[in-house]
Amino acid sequence: MQESYTILSKKDSQQLSRFLAREGQFLLPMLDLIEQAEAAVDEVIQVVGRSAIEAILLLSARQVAGDPHPGKQQGEIRWHGSQRGVISLAERKLRVTKPRLRKKGPGAGKEVPLPAYAAMQNKGRLSERILSLLMQGISTRSYANVLPAMAETVGVSKSQISRQWIEATDDQIQQFTARRFDGRDILIVYIDGIRFGPHHVIGAVGVDSQGFKQVLGLTEGATENAAVVRDLLNDLVARGLDPARRRLFVMDGSKALRAAIDEVFGQAHPVQRCRKHKMSNVLDHLPEELKDPVKGVLQAAWRMSPEEGKKQIRQQARQLEKLHPSAAASLLEGLDELFTVNAMGLPKALSRCLCTTNLIESPHSGVRMRTRRVCNWPDGQMVLRWATAAFLETEKHFQKIGGYKQIWMLKSYLDELENEQTLAEKRKIG
């Protein structure tokens, strides 16, 4: 596949097929997105066709051998890894990865054919029928009807398709939105938004006292709207995120985010502004010849103590004020919150992870990679399904936060803030 055609890597497409067979309806918005892209017909067939067909092959294998069981194998027919194959779509050849099944007992090792794969190798009317259904889905976007019909054409039960590709996704999303956080000591909450055309998805990722990361919640709406962010945060509180517990919030420069945090959790919670967002905002107001020098000043200042760092940035702002007032104003806006982590006295390995929203940007980048050609997002529900799928897949590969061995220092700092607040409230009562 040519470079310009790369929507999914080969590795990603194999993982995608397994994911689609397991979490069915995520395939539907994906096909919608690819269909809307300005892609040639052949590349759409390569991406859409391979993903859909490999998902159908997995369902066909389940129909023959039941669900795969890691470790001990059950039944007369066993799952035995996967292998490459080729199916025909009219005059086209499509390379796919298919499940491998074998019999156990007497005659062990004998290959068990997949009915759907055997049918798809047919070069006659059946392959033309499959291609016709695939193209119908591409042209009409009626995948809810087309894909079950496509699977049924090669011997996979339509009822099974309906169950796998509709109910599974709804159940997964419901489980995600019902997650409880009772008993989890969430110390850090990262909040950031990603734009999909006119839509925004606001995401929150938490880090607990052991350094483990978890997706907390998602909502669709504009980042400029404090009510949207407030609803997200109130939902987290309703699901067990204790608002009285002092924690560090890491966010971009959105005033809506800060207003929502203050309203739901109070102003006593420390907030760290994302330095990556701040850097981008400042440099956008400068000519090319000044970008590197100012970038160097900011990077140097952020390594200093809060007092010295803010002094250096104010000096830089004074130098820019006359010729580049917008850049100067951006330098000074939210200045104190750029040094919140510096004031905590944390080790470099840990503090580096607390000064940007890069942690939450990882699932965002996965979505961007797969949707970079999309020019139209029909509705917010489609956007939210895509974002949920990306976040949940990314979460499976989450590792502990960098510097997690020193996270106890952050916990101690936050505990002290909480104790000071409690004492202050008691003095007022007394």
Measured on CA atoms in the order 42, 45, 48, 51, is the torsion positive or negative?
Answer: negative
Q: What is the Cα–Cα distance from 75 to 58, expressed in whole angstroms?
A: 17
Q: Which two tokens stand for residue 153?
A: 């054409």
pLDDT score of 39 more than 90: no
pLDDT score of 340 more than 70: yes
Q: What is the Cα–Cα distance from 229 to 261, expressed in whole angstroms?
A: 8
- The predicted-structure confidence for 187-197, as pLDDT tens digits, reads as follows 999 998 887 77
Mean pLDDT for 360-366 is 67
- The predicted-structure confidence for 379-407, as pLDDT tens digits, reads as follows 777 677 667 766 776 787 788 999 999 99
Residues 6+ apart with CB under 8 A from 137: 31, 35, 48, 143, 146, 147, 150
Q: Please name every residue paired with 410 in a beta bridge, in sequence order, or none if there are none.
A: none
- The predicted-structure confidence for 51-64, as pLDDT tens digits, reads as follows 777 878 888 888 88
State residue 331's pLDDT score: 95
Single out the residue of 277, 295, 414, 412 nearest to residue 337, CA to CA: 277
pLDDT averaged over the chain?
78
pLDDT-derived band at 326 (thresholds 50, 70, 90) equals: very high
Single out the residue of 222, 154, 235 nearest to residue 194, CA to CA: 222
Single out the residue of 90, 5, 91, 12 nearest to residue 51, CA to CA: 12
Mean pLDDT for 157-167 is 55
State residue 343's pLDDT score: 93
More confident residue, 360 or 113: 113
**Domain layout of the chain by residue ranges:** 3-66+77-171, 186-270+340-420
Residue 350 to residues 67, 242, 347, Cα–Cα distance (Å): 42, 24, 6
Residues 6+ apart with CB under 8 A from 181: 206, 216, 236, 239, 240, 241
Single out the residue of 188, 319, 185 nearest to residue 248, CA to CA: 188
Q: Give kind and range of the element (H or E) at residue 236.
A: helix 226-238
State residue 96's pLDDT score: 84
pLDDT score of 411 more than 70: yes
- The predicted-structure confidence for 303-316, as pLDDT tens digits, reads as follows 999 999 999 999 99
Q: Counting beta carbons within 10 angstroms of the beta carbon of residue 43, is it exposed (0 to 12), middle (13 to 18) or buried (19 or more)?
A: middle
Contact 208, 214 (CB under 8 A): yes
pTM higher than 0.75: no
Q: Lowest-pLDDT range, 135-144, 251-260, 413-422?
A: 135-144
Q: What is the Cα–Cα distance from 62 to 20, expressed in whole angstroms?
A: 14
pLDDT-derived band at 375 (thresholds 50, 70, 90) equals: low
- The predicted-structure confidence for 239-297, as pLDDT tens digits, reads as follows 999 998 999 999 987 777 888 899 999 888 999 999 999 999 999 999 999 999 999 99
State residue 166's pLDDT score: 47
Q: What is the Cα–Cα distance from 253 to 338, expressed in whole angstroms?
A: 10
State residue 19's pLDDT score: 57
Mean pLDDT for 350-377 is 72
More confident residue, 340 or 72: 340
Which CB contacts under 8 angstroms, 24+ apart, belong to 163-170? Answer: 164/21, 164/22, 164/24, 164/59, 165/24, 165/25, 165/27, 165/28, 166/24, 166/25, 167/24, 168/22, 168/23, 168/24, 168/25, 169/23, 169/24, 169/25, 169/26, 169/385, 170/25
More confident residue, 429 or 256: 256
Q: What is the Cα–Cα distance from 330 to 272, expressed in whole angstroms?
A: 16
- The predicted-structure confidence for 209-235, as pLDDT tens digits, reads as follows 999 999 899 888 766 678 888 999 999
pLDDT score of 299 more than 70: yes
Contact 261, 233 (CB under 8 A): yes
Mean pLDDT for 5-34 is 50
Mean pLDDT for 363-378 is 60
SS3 track for 185-233 = CEEEEEEEEEEECCEEEEEEEEEECCCCEEEEEEEECCCCCHHHHHHHH
Q: Which two tokens stand for residue 349?
A: 């390995």
pLDDT-derived band at 359 (thresholds 50, 70, 90) equals: confident
State residue 226's pLDDT score: 80
| CATH, domain 186-270+340-420, list 3.40.50.300, 3.30.420.40, 3.40.190.150, 2.40.70.10 | 3.30.420.40
State residue 1's pLDDT score: 35
More confident residue, 208 or 421: 208
154: amino acid identity, one letter: V
Mean pLDDT for 348-371 is 77
More confident residue, 107 or 115: 115
